[in-house]
Copies of this chain bind each other. A is one copy, B any other.
Amino acid sequence: MLKGFNIIGDTEIAEGDDYLQAFSPTHLKNLPEKFIVATAQELENAVEKATIAFNSYKNTSAKERALFLETIAKEIDNIGDELIDRAKLETGLTEQRLTSERGRTTGQLKLFAELLREGSWVEAVIDEALPDRKPLPRSDLRKMNIAIGPVAVFGASNFPFAFSTAGGDTASALAAGNPVIVKAHPSHLGTNELMGTAIKKAAEISHMPDGVFSFIIGDGIKTGLQLVKHPGIKAVGFTGSYKAGMTIFKAATNERESPVPVFAEMSSVNPIVLLPSKLRKESDALATQLAGSISVGVGQFCTNPGLLFLIEDENYKGFTLKLIETLAAIPEAPMLNQGICSSYYMNRKLMAKQKGVAVLYMGEDESAVNEGSSALFQVNANDFIQNQELQNEVFGPASLIVKCKDERDLFQALKSLHGQLTATIMGDADDISKYAGSIEVLTGKAGRLIFNGVPTGVEVSHAMVHGGPFPATTDSHSTSVGSDAIKRFLRPFCFQDCPHDLLPDALKNENPLGIMRKINGHYTREGISV
Contact A496 B149 (CB under 8 A): no
Count copies of this chain in the complex: 2
Nearest chain-B residue to A518 (Cβ)? B462
Question: What does the 1/0 interface line of A348-381 toward B look like (CB < 8 Å)?
Answer: 0000000000000000000000000000000000
Q: Which of these, B261, B477, B497, contacts A452 with CB under 8 Å?
A: B497
Task: Find chain B residues with CB under 8 A from A149 CB.
Answer: 444
Task: Find chain B residues with CB under 8 A from A521 CB.
Answer: 114-115, 118, 462, 483
Q: Which of these, B126, B418, B459, B483, contacts A138 with CB under 8 Å?
A: B459
Task: Find chain B residues with CB under 8 A from A118 CB.
Answer: 521
Task: Find chain B residues with CB under 8 A from A260 CB.
Answer: 470
> Does chain B have a CB within 8 A of A146?
yes
Contacts of A256-286 to chain B: CB distance below 8 A: 258-261
**A254-B250, A453-B497, A498-B451 are contacts. A491–B476 as well, Cβ < 8 Å?**
yes
Nearest chain-B residue to A253 (Cβ)? B253
Contacts of A453-503 to chain B: CB distance below 8 A: 453, 457, 459, 461-465, 467, 469-471, 474-479, 483-484, 487, 490-499, 502
Q: Output the least CB separation between A441 and chain B (Å).
A: 9
In the docked arrangement, what's the CA distance between A465 and B253, Å?
23
Contact B502 A141 (CB under 8 A): no
> Does chain B have a CB within 8 A of A100?
yes
Q: Which of A115, A432, A444 has the largest number of chain B CB atoms within 10 A?
A: A444
Task: Find chain B residues with CB under 8 A from A146 CB.
Answer: 443
> Does chain B have a CB within 8 A of A143?
yes
Q: Which of these, B55, B100, B516, contacts A523 with CB under 8 Å?
A: B516
Q: Which of these, B261, B463, B467, B499, contacts A141 with CB under 8 Å?
A: B463
Question: What does the 1/0 interface line of A131-149 toward B look like (CB < 8 Å)?
Answer: 0000110110111001011
Task: Find chain B residues with CB under 8 A from A462 CB.
Answer: 125, 127, 143, 518, 520-521
Contact A141 B461 (CB under 8 A): yes
Q: Output the least CB separation between A476 and chain B (Å).
A: 5
Contact A143 B463 (CB under 8 A): yes
> Does chain B have a CB within 8 A of A88?
no
Contact B498 A419 (CB under 8 A): no
Task: Find chain B residues with CB under 8 A from A463 CB.
Answer: 125-127, 141-143, 494, 518
> Does chain B have a CB within 8 A of A447?
yes
Q: Output the least CB separation between A133 and chain B (Å).
A: 10
Question: What does the 1/0 interface line of A413-438 toward B look like (CB < 8 Å)?
Answer: 00000110000000001001000000
Task: Find chain B residues with CB under 8 A from A439 CB.
Answer: 502
> Does chain B have a CB within 8 A of A110?
no
In the docked arrangement, what's the CA distance between A18 and B418, Å?
37
Task: Find chain B residues with CB under 8 A from A336 CB.
Answer: none
> Does chain B have a CB within 8 A of A120?
yes
Question: What does the 1/0 interface line of A103-120 toward B look like (CB < 8 Å)?
Answer: 000000000001100101
Task: Find chain B residues with CB under 8 A from A446 CB.
Answer: 493
**A143-B464, A259-B470, A477-B261 are contacts. A492–B496 as well, Cβ < 8 Å?**
no
Nearest chain-B residue to A448 (Cβ)? B494
> Does chain B have a CB within 8 A of A449?
yes
Contact B495 A449 (CB under 8 A): yes
Task: Find chain B residues with CB under 8 A from A418 CB.
Answer: 258
Nearest chain-B residue to A103 (Cβ)? B135
> Does chain B have a CB within 8 A of A450?
yes
Contact A259 B474 (CB under 8 A): yes
Q: Output the least CB separation between A64 and chain B (Å).
A: 18
Task: Find chain B residues with CB under 8 A from A518 CB.
Answer: 462-463
Q: Which of A148, A465, A490 has the largest number of chain B CB atoms within 10 A?
A: A465
Contact A136 B457 (CB under 8 A): yes
Q: Which of A126, A148, A499 has the largest number of chain B CB atoms within 10 A?
A: A499
In the docked arrangement, what's the CA distance between A253 and B258, Å?
15
Nearest chain-B residue to A418 (Cβ)? B258
Contacts of A4-20 to chain B: CB distance below 8 A: none
Contact B502 A432 (CB under 8 A): yes
Q: Output the least CB separation between A446 and chain B (Å).
A: 8
Q: Output the least CB separation between A342 and chain B (Å).
A: 27
Q: Output the least CB separation between A499 and chain B (Å).
A: 6
In the docked arrangement, what's the CA distance between A418 and B258, Å?
9
In the docked arrangement, what's the CA distance between A478 and B493, Å?
10
5 contacts between A and B (CB under 8 A): A127-B463, A253-B254, A449-B498, A453-B497, A479-B492
Across the A-B interface, give the 9 residue pairs with the lowest CB-CB distance, nearest first.
Answer: A465-B494, A141-B463, A448-B494, A143-B463, A450-B496, A127-B463, A258-B470, A125-B463, A127-B461
Given contacts A126-B463, A143-B484, 20 further A-B contacts (CB under 8 A): A55-B440, A100-B135, A120-B523, A127-B461, A141-B459, A143-B464, A254-B254, A258-B418, A432-B502, A447-B491, A447-B493, A448-B494, A451-B495, A451-B499, A463-B494, A465-B493, A465-B494, A467-B491, A477-B491, A516-B516
